[in-house]
Amino acid sequence: MAKFCKTRIMKERILFNLTLALEAIIDNKIRSFLTAFGIVFGVASVIAMLAIGTGAKQSILERMKLIGTNNIVIEKVLPEEEDLKDDSGKKTRAPYSPGLHINDFRNIEKVLSPYISLAYPEIEMSKRAVRNGVSREIKLIGTNNDYFKVGSLDLMEGSFFAKIQEDKGSPVCVIGHDIATKFFSGESALNKRIKCGNVWFTVVGVLEKTASSSTDLEDLGLRDRNQDVYIPLQTVLLRFGNRAKIDQATLMRREEEQQFPNYHQLDQLIIQVNNSKDLKAVAKVAAAIIKRRHHQVVDFEIEIPELLLQEQEKTQETFNLVLSAIAGISLLVGGIGIMNIMLASILERIKEIGIRRSLGATRFDIITQFLFESVFISLLGGLVGIILGFVIAGVIGSYSDIPTIVSLWSILLSFGVSFFVGIVFGLFPARKAAIQDPIKALRLD
């Protein structure tokens, strides 16, 4: 019973001290708000910086989804004019290479099959698509079914290419969502025909709409897949020409070096590796295979997008760390401001402390009163700072290309930091108030 009474009395004393702290803050609204100003901007900075960091990380993850994971991109390279000159500046004979070819793709698949899960060749062409009076420029992509798997592209209706259609180069196509909307508005596109260039294609599948920002696509050098038409690679080679076939005229142009046409059969190869640890090793072997077929001519380049994005993520994390440190300094300055104002407040209220002590208040009561004041001021600044942080993050996201995402974790962190700052920087003034001699305090005018 005695223990219960002591607990009840303690709760009442703490509640009374809490009430006194709130009354002191309300009586000095302007001073309390100005005291919290440093915390406001510190917390707002933390919220905004973490929003930028979270948004950047989310953007990087979305970019990884766009290009697929564990991919190696092998692209064709055409010699520059300077590459066809010797040390004296005179034109020299162009080194012979068969260019990026389907045989490169087959050799890589054969040699590296234990290490790769998916792979596809790609030819890209600009063509005009026409149907029922509707016309627009489109990208015609020659590839295989692994393209859709690597890109995580799903069908809205229909199917992908059948094996026989790929082998025979049949005039069939899978179209992006926007193409279906543009040319087949209000009707199903399946088994209907669309003309691309001079060839009529039968639509066998329509892709689901992919959500992607134009900024991300531009930064990564990717197309908007919603606006593309996909056909089997063999169809491109049979019906739109094979750049690897060198006729007499092309050979003469290359010999005379008056122009250097695109001799690459393929525009690029994409290899998806089973294990990200093997990315660099597989890329090195793939480069050696292609160089051997190209007679040691390096007319291609290899990129590993995931590694590039990981480097970008590390850079972003370092940048966020620096910004967070700056925000942390703002919180530190805000905390010092609270401590200074609380110390000044003690000198102003020295008689109040003396009266409370003379009426039976203990040192614990004085400490809790002033500590509550410090924490309340800090939490007030934290609350206003969170609101301001939301506003700053929204403005940054609206008027710049920087993505911002305010997470629950950042809010809880900011609020927790505010509470911690209030306790740490309020403890010293509270203790200083508690050790005042009540007799001397009452004698001071």
3-state secondary structure at position 377: helix
- Residue 222 located in a structural domain: yes
Where among 271, 305, 339 does a domain terminate?
305
- Residue 260 located in a structural domain: yes
Does one domain contain both 217 and 264?
yes
Does one domain contain both 301 and 322?
no
Identify which of 72, 141, 89 has the alpha carbon closest to the alpha carbon of residue 308: 72
pLDDT tens column, 324-343: 676 667 667 777 777 777 77
End-to-end CA distance of the chain: 45
Residue-level pLDDT at 157: 92
Residue-level pLDDT at 304: 79
Where among 305, 338, 358 does a domain terminate?
305
Rounded CA gap, 16 and 10, in Å?
Answer: 10
Which domain does 439 fall in, by range? Answer: 10-63+311-443
| 3-17, 276-290, 316-330: range with highest mean pLDDT | 276-290
Give the count of beta carbons closer than 10 Å to the beta carbon of residue 301: 12
* Arithmetic mean of pLDDT, 160-182: 92
Does one domain contain both 261 and 326?
no
- Residue 3 located in a structural domain: no
Does one domain contain both 413 and 269?
no
Give the CA distances from residue 407 to residues 48, 205, 288, 343, 395, in Å, rounded to whole numbers and listed in that order: 10, 39, 46, 36, 16
CB 427 within 8 A of CB 335: no
* Arithmetic mean of pLDDT, 197-221: 75
Does one domain contain both 368 and 395?
yes
Strands (E), 70-115: 71-76
- Helices in 68-161 by DSSP H: which ranges? 102-112, 146-150
Range in 149-163, 228-242, 250-264, 276-290 the model is least confident about:
250-264
- Residue 177 located in a structural domain: yes
Does one domain contain both 76 and 58?
no
What phi and psi values does residue 425 have, to the nearest 5 degrees?
A: -85, -5
Q: Between 23 and 187, whose confidence is greater?
A: 187
- Residue 4 located in a structural domain: no
Pairing of strands 228-232, 134-143: parallel
Residue-level pLDDT at 307: 61
- Residue 182 located in a structural domain: yes
Neighbouring residues of 146: CB distance < 8 A, sequence distance ≥ 6: 118, 119, 120, 272
pTM for the predicted model, two decimal places: 0.59
- Residue 5 located in a structural domain: no
Q: Taking 70 as the threshold, does the pLDDT of residue 396 lie above it?
A: yes
Q: Taking 70 as the threshold, does the pLDDT of residue 437 lie above it?
A: no
Where among 247, 276, 305 does a domain terminate?
305
Does one domain contain both 59 and 115?
no
Rounded CA gap, 396 and 400, in Å?
Answer: 6
Radius of gyration of the chain (CA): 35
Q: Taking 70 as the threshold, does the pLDDT of residue 59 lie above it?
A: no
Strands (E), 208-340: 228-232, 268-273, 300-303
Does one domain contain both 298 and 226?
yes
What phi and psi values does residue 172 have, to the nearest 5 degrees?
A: -125, 160
Place of tokens 């020295």: 350
Q: Taking 60 as the threshold, does the pLDDT of residue 221 lie above it?
A: no
Does one domain contain both 126 and 191?
yes
Does one domain contain both 335 and 408?
yes
Does one domain contain both 245 and 320?
no
Mean pLDDT, all residues of the chain:
78
H or E, element range at 202: strand 199-207
- Residue 2 located in a structural domain: no
Does one domain contain both 328 and 408?
yes
Rounded CA gap, 402 and 50, in Å?
Answer: 12
* Arithmetic mean of pLDDT, 289-316: 77
* Domain total of the chain: 2
Q: Between 246 and 385, whose confidence is greater?
A: 385
